[in-house]
Structure 1
Amino acid sequence: MQFAPPVSKNRIISTFPKCYNPQACLQMKEDWSAKAKLVFKDRATRQQGLDRLKMSKAVVVGDLNVGKTCLINRFCKDAFDRDYKATIGVDFEIERFELSGLPFSLQIWDTAGQEKFKCIAAAYYRGAQVIVTVFDMTDIKTLENTKQWLMEALNENEPNSCFIFLVGTKRDLLSPEECQRTERDAVKMAAEMNAEFWSVSSKTGENVQQFFFRVAALAFEDSVLKDMELGYSTAQIGDGDVLKVDKTQAAAEVKAVRKSCC
């Protein structure tokens, strides 16, 4: 049996997180689906397997210096470092949540934006449930490049298997008028990418926690519903089929790929 330590209070999600911008929201709902609610209720009643960890994978892609690492650090460590070092290959964090009383973990993979590291990063796109494409709201060229990043990540995954998000960073550096103009362009791009758009600031923390809560909730509900489609009973959902990846194992895999690639 795999036991999980208590979840931090600031990682408990009791209600379904809303979208930041209704114009770019692909999941127009304000609550869990009826099927998911049945699972939550049954599992809460039976108290079976609540110590089992179920995990989904999110990969974060985008150009160099758009703020991918700062975005992840703001959420995972509540920290902002203006003078960070560029990511070499890949890095990752694991965040644990409690959603409607059930445990869930999210792997957040931070990939390098430099061309020379693409061969390393591509190996970690596989098996993603969520693809987060990031651009710098002060540099419109990085928005144009998100399509290419998304295509490369999708090429490593099964069709229609991933939630897609388009995230604009550094909104604190724009005036309200500039932010509004950039968001209009981003909403159009999100529609072309079949993505949900979010505008955030890693420096101030604006919308960062709400964004990752949204990612976790959608990934968790999708995982539960897929288990139901596969014919698992509600008692089995979360008890097995666990993605058994801890930080030691994942770090070893990162080193192995770095040695064998590029």
Structure 2
Amino acid sequence: MRQSRSATLKMMVDRAPNDRQINKLPPPYLKSSTPYAGSDFRPEVKSACISNRLVSAGLKISKVIILGNVAVGKSCLVNRFCHSVFDQNYKATIGVDFEVERFDILQVPFNLQIWDTAGQERFKCIASSYYRGAHAVVVAFDLTNLYSLSSCPAWLEDALKANTVRPLVFLVGTKRDLLSEAAYKHVEDQATRMARALQAEYWCVSSKCGLNIDTFFQRIAALTFNVSVSQECREIDSSKEIGNGLVTLKKTENPIGGMEKRKRLKNDCCNS
């Protein structure tokens, strides 16, 4: 069992645990149900990490918010991943809970901030204030309760309204252990259709037995890291282009010719 530590201590460790070391992009749960193509990190990301050509120093951080109806298993999902524990008698989350998990991705230190939000309507106004700045949104539903699946578009809409840039979106069905194979296949068809409508990547998990939990969060960490570093690479390239343009502009100026022109104008004014 993983030792439970504070968020600060997790961020300060010199090296992430072995199961938090990522050197290859984890695959999606279903290749047919993801809008995020690519089987590995982008070439510019790998190159930047190898050459240490990154803009910002220190730990990189991505923010993940987990949304969904009350009792769909959001807190169980987070606690299974962060603390390797399962308790089916969790009390309803009030406002938000916060966890941090440390990764090393392509040998670069990286933190995944996980915000577990309340599903009860009376706490929604509190939780929604934490939606801003999300790099990924996880909309969870209960595989045994299709009503919770129908509520997912509204949860995602609230999250997208709070963010000017669209985050990565994941649709996650929980409590897979409670369904037979035949019953699950029926639900999966509806869930994958919903995922396509939401432009989200679909996963099914079980917090009770740990099914797909680690792989799912590793996938989130790797994808958000990929997007973040790729953006940094574009910023580096843009600054170089702007700088080169300014240098070229200065070189095309002719200060001597400009001085002679100003002298002629001054003489013409004095002679008139």
Q: TM-score under structure 2 normalisation?
A: 0.80
> Quick one: which of 80, 104, 107 aligns to 1:74?
80
Instruction: Specify the alignment match of 1:139 in structure 2.
Output: 145
User: Which segment drifts farther, 32-41 or 212-221?
Assistant: 32-41
Say which SS state the counterpart of residue 69 (structure 1) adopts. helix
Alignment of structure 1 residues 111-190 onto 2, 5 Å? 111-159=117-165, 161-190=166-195
Aligned counterpart in structure 1 of residue 15 of structure 2, from 6, 19, 25: 6
Q: Note the aligned Cα RMSD (angstroms).
A: 1.9
Say whether the 8 Å CA contact 1:137–1:182 is kept in structure 2.
yes
Gapped regions of structure 2 (runs ≥ 5): 1-10, 239-272
Which of 33, 36, 41 is the matching residue for 1:32? 41
Identity among equivalent positions (%) equals 45
8 Å contact from structure 1 (residues 11, 97) kept in 2: yes
Structure that is richer in helix per residue: 2
1:70 partner amino acid: C
- Structure 1 or 2, whichever has the larger Rg, is 2
Instruction: Name the aligned partner's letter for residue 29 of structure 1.
Output: G
Corresponding residue of 1:201? 206
Alignment of 1:46-125 (within 5 A): 52-125=58-131
Give the Cα–Cα distance (whole angstroms) in 2 for the partners of residues 131 and 212 of structure 1.
12
Q: Distance in 1 between matches of 2:107 and 2:232?
A: 18
The 8 Å contact of residues 50 and 102 in structure 1, kept in 2 or not, is answered as no
Measured after TM superposition, the shift of residue 6 of structure 1 is: 2.0
Q: Cα distance, 1:49 vs. partner? A: 9.5
Gaps of 5+ in 1: 234-262
Cα separation, 1, equivalents of 2:220 and 2:229: 14
Q: Give the 3-state SS of the residue equivalent to 2:236 in structure 1.
A: coil
Contact map agreement 1:56 1:106 (CA 8 A) in 2 = yes
TM-score after normalising by structure 1: 0.83
CA–CA distance in 2 between the matches of 1:51 and 1:6?
A: 16
Aligned length: 228
- Please state how far the C-alpha of 1:135 moved relative to its aligned partner: 0.1
CA offset at residue 199 of structure 1? 0.5
Partner of 2:3 in structure 1?
none
CA contact (8 A) 2:100 2:111 kept: yes
C-alpha distance in structure 2 between counterparts of 1:158 and 1:231, whole Å: 22
1:66 CA displacement: 0.1
In structure 1, the residue matched to 2:8 is: none
**1:192 is aligned to 2:197:** yes
1:3, distance to aligned residue in structure 2 (A): 6.2
SS in 2 for 1:131: strand
2:25 equivalent in structure 1: 16
> How far apart, CA to CA, are the structure 1 residues paired with 2:38 and 2:180?
31
Offset of residue 4 of structure 1: 4.8
Partner of 1:229: 234
- Conserved in 2, the CA contact under 8 Å of 1:62 and 1:135? yes
Deviations 1:64-91 (A, max 9, x none): 0000000000100011001111100001
